[in-house]
Amino acid sequence: MPRPPIDLHQKVRDLLTHVGPPPQESDRPLDHFEHSANETLALIKYIDDHLPVGTMYPAVYERHMSHLRRMALGSLIQAFERFVKEIAIACVDSLVEFVNDDRFDEFKLTGGALAIQFALDKSIGKAMCESETWLSNKSINERFKKLLKSPFAEHGWENLFPLRNQPPQGERERASTLAILWQVRHNIAHNVGFLTGSDSGKLRLLLEGKGMVEAEKILRPTISDLRYVKRFLLDAATSTNSRVGNRLAALLSEIYADNATLFVPQEVADSASKRFGYPVTVAGVAGVV
């Protein structure tokens, strides 16, 4: 008896209904990133702990685990991209009612995207930021410099992840390493870890003569590689969370000093503190987490 026909079009559409609730940490960008990073490494450990390694050929085991670690590496970097996006959303939502200038012009928002997002949860920040990609230091710098600029100064805020010879000098090495990870993420997403000539050439330039990257090879990260990437990204996220949170608080304080009728400092400080996960001070008032 022949098998009944399967509507593959519908089966693919059905996957969109297979969802679950977000983690409770999702309201705070830094906590959300740490939760995702921990889950990624826990996945590797769980599978490794429960595989009957003694019954497997070592080469076969390593081939499969290598593929899993590549996916985990991509997931870690994607979680950091989402973190950057979520702190941008927090900044937009905190500022949108109190400023009227060009600071939001870096975000390319269509009417359709605004209508859909606003109908869902009325967050201007999500409407502006969620459809954008946050996958290069240059684009991240441009958005945050303008988003967090003083309304009374000619120039923008500092670079989050400065390029070569850009200030702040103390953040250059972190930015340089992050640029490598953005390119690795591109390679995993678009070439499944196969290092093309283009990929290896770009990575060699990013290494600035401090290493070689062989072309026509498959990226095979070790579990130690994943642990180091997680530690680096968590350090970067923690630092970025503080830098952006403190700058947002200072900017809101400037706005309040110019016009004290715009908002109640305690309410705004509490809201920002809850999003960034630590007490920020607006107009001399410390927020409650």
Q: What per-residue confidence (pLDDT) applies to 35?
A: 98
Q: Which residues pair with 282 in a beta bridge?
A: 285
Binned at pLDDT 50, 70 and 90, residue 274 comes out as: very high
Query: Dihedral through CA 110, CA 113, CA 116, CA 117, nearest 10?
Result: -120
Rg from Cα positions in the chain: 22
| CA dist., res. 233 & res. 182, Å (int) | 12
Where are the chain's structural domains? 26-273
For residue 14, pLDDT over 70 is answered with yes
- DSSP SS3 for 101: coil
| CA dist., res. 89 & res. 19, Å (int) | 23
- DSSP SS3 for 38: helix
- The number of angstroms, rounded, from the C-alpha of 280 to the middle of its chain's C-alpha atoms is 22
pTM recorded for the entire structure: 0.93
214, 200 contact by CB (below 8 A)? yes
* Residue, of 104 and 1, whose pLDDT is higher: 104
| CA dist., res. 205 & res. 186, Å (int) | 15
Instruction: List all residues 6 or more positions away from 22 whose beta carbon is below 8 Å from its beta carbon.
Output: none
Q: Which of 238, 228, 212 is nearest to 76 (CA)?
A: 228
pLDDT in tens, 46-65: 998 888 877 888 898 899 99
Query: What is the token pair recorded at 157?
Result: 């805020």
Separation in Å, CA 184 to CA 15, 173, 265: 28, 17, 42
Q: What is the mean pLDDT of the chain?
A: 93
